[in-house]
Amino acid sequence: MLTLYFSPGACSMASHIGLEETGAPYEEKPTLLAKGEQKTEAYLKINPRGKVPALSVDGKVITENTAILTYLARRFPEKNLIPADPVEEARCIATMAWFSNVVHPSYQRCLRPERFAEGEAAQATVKETGRKSFWANCQEIDSLLRGKEWIMGDQFTVADGYALVFYGWGVRAGFPMNELGYYTAWKDRMLKRPAVRKILESEQNVLVTKA
Ligand SMILES: N[C@@H](CCC(=O)N[C@@H](CS)C(=O)NCC(=O)O)C(=O)O
């Protein structure tokens, strides 16, 4: 049994989309960050770091989007959710690691500067540099998509669902995402995928709620 712990609007949407794209049955366990549910005793038994997503596979827990998505893609090879060629597979994992290690933290600095510095002035600087980095990262994603259908080229992969998280966050935080032509055209292709649309609607993501 696959059970996904996620919070609507959080980075866990990457794993939620990946799981839905496998077509496999799974159980959903919404764990609402706004209510602090990631810090409850029960959830800390699932992920002691108090973060979403977490995927339980017959009781064994996998954390980190990059690991969850790689696991799902390998478990359901018939869905072609990661390149079969080992070098291309590693490049796909590298892209997801960059999303996790660089892109996600840049957004966190815009949203939660108090986690990175004390005092109003220092936090304002963290926020401003976070905004600059996040925007530069979105521009880099835009160039990664130049001339391509999907992040890895012709093949849709689990990295695509991950990249959509940041597009939504950019819209939510008021960045001019529609200036990023390749990223925006790709986002429109993503919205045409039934599995993607289903998860965006179920999570009430800004990309489907904002006309
Ligand atoms: N690198 C991790 C990041 C996980 C993470 O930071 N999740 C955030 C939501 S976007 C979270 O659970 N935050 C709750 C908190 O920090 O209290 C991954 O990709 O899974």
Do 118 and 66 fall within a single domain? no
Ligand 1 centroid vs 64 CA: distance in angstroms?
8
- Whether 200 maps to a domain, the answer reads no
Q: Which amino acid is located at 56 in the chain? A: S
Task: Specify the pLDDT at position 210.
Answer: 78
Do 117 and 45 fall within a single domain? no
Task: Specify the pLDDT at position 82.
Answer: 98
Give residue 55's domain range: 2-79
Output the ligand 1 site: residues, CB below 6 A. Answer: 10-11, 33, 38, 50-53, 64-65, 100
Mutating to test ligand 1, I would choose from 4, 39, 52 the residue with most ligand atoms within 8 A of its C-beta, which is: 52
**177 touches 171 (CB < 8 A):** yes
- Model confidence pLDDT, tens digit, residues 83-109: 999 999 999 999 999 999 999 999 999
- Whether 7 maps to a domain, the answer reads yes
Q: Which two tokens stand for residue 124?
A: 């304002």
Q: Which amino acid is located at 178 in the chain? A: N
Say which CATH number the domain at 187 has: 1.20.1050.10
CA–CA gap between residue 206 and residue 63 (Å, rounded): 25
* DSSP per-residue codes, 112-159: -GGGT-SSHHHHHHHHHHHHHHHHHHHHHHHHHTTT-SBTTBSS--HH
Do 43 and 137 fall within a single domain? no
Do 96 and 188 fall within a single domain? yes
pLDDT per 10-residue tile (average), the chain, 211 residues:
97 98 98 98 98 98 98 98 98 98 97 95 96 98 98 98 98 97 98 98 95 61
- Model confidence pLDDT, tens digit, residues 5-39: 999 999 999 999 999 999 999 999 999 999 999 99
Task: Specify the pLDDT at position 79.
Answer: 98
Ranges assigned E (strand) in the chain = 2-6, 27-30, 54-57, 60-63
